[in-house]
Structure 1
Amino acid sequence: MLEPAATVKIFQKQADPKIVEAGTAIFQAGQPANYMYGILDGEVELQVDGKTVEVLSASSVFGIGALLGHANRPYTAIAKTTCKLAFLDQQRFLFAVQETPMFALNVMQTYSDRLDRLAHSL
């Protein structure tokens, strides 16, 4: 079974992943949400109000709320290290879910685990 980030890479429209240098914002809280991301290499910090709430590493996915009806980003994502990111827009995401239902289950599990960790850290 593929990890969610590998599935994102397979279904992305663009042939090449996005390279983001360390310290660069991938997106900011409040910005329009158009893509979800899968980390192929590197680490990404998720921040709320300037506070790091989680650091994600390779094989993790983030930003999926963009594809499920959230108009704007609720948090900021910053490359902690230079990152290689796969990305999907809503059309490609829905296609990936339809073609590989386990992808949807893996993404839901990832987000469920993230919410559990966040709840226990408060």
Structure 2
Amino acid sequence: MNALETMRALASQGEVIQAPAGESIFSSGETGDCMFGVLEGTVELTWNDEVGHEVIQAGDVFGAGALVTAEHRRYGNAKAVSDCKLLKMNREKFLFAVQESPMFAIELLGSIDQRLRQLKDCTKVG
């Protein structure tokens, strides 16, 4: 089972939200207590007054800092580029997912690592 399949399985028991194209999911400076998994659609993440940006797809997560930092404040903005279906996971739901499917954590780390490498490569070009 890959990360997207695990998120879809969790969606049957978890909190799924719909975000129409153009809708803000969260903004920089807001308090955050959950992360989101993209089940369907595309989300744009921006930071540093939109100087930095990344577009993520189904199977990716964003806002994970909220699960590991007490009194977390969002670092950037998240906006639905297309109509999205998102799995909202608080710390307890995330820990449950990892307990039920330990590979979920490894798959998410792999996805985040790949995204960081792509961002690093983009900064070399510019």
- TM-score band by shorter chain is 0.7 to 0.9
Residues 4-15 of structure 1 correspond to what in structure 2 (within 5 A)?
4-11=3-10, 15=14
Contact persistence 2:14–2:88 (CA under 8 A): no
Q: In 1, Cα distance between the equivalents of 2:120 and 2:55?
A: 15
Contact persistence 1:30–1:72 (CA under 8 A): yes
SS in structure 2 at match of 1:93: helix
SS in structure 2 at match of 1:66: helix
Q: In 1, Cα distance between the equivalents of 2:66 and 2:4?
A: 16
- Structure 2 unaligned segments of length 5 or more: list them: none
SS in structure 2 at match of 1:18: strand
Q: Structure 2 length as normaliser, TM-score?
A: 0.85
Q: In 2, Cα distance between the equivalents of 1:27 and 1:106?
A: 24
Identity %, equivalent residues = 37
Q: In 1, Cα distance between the equivalents of 2:36 and 2:45?
A: 12
Contact persistence 2:38–2:57 (CA under 8 A): yes
Pairwise CA RMSD of aligned residues?
1.9
Kindly name which structure, 1 or 2, has the bigger radius of gyration based on alpha carbons.
2
Report the number of matched residues.
121
Amino acid at match of 1:64: A
Amino acid at match of 1:108: L
SS in structure 1 at match of 2:33: coil
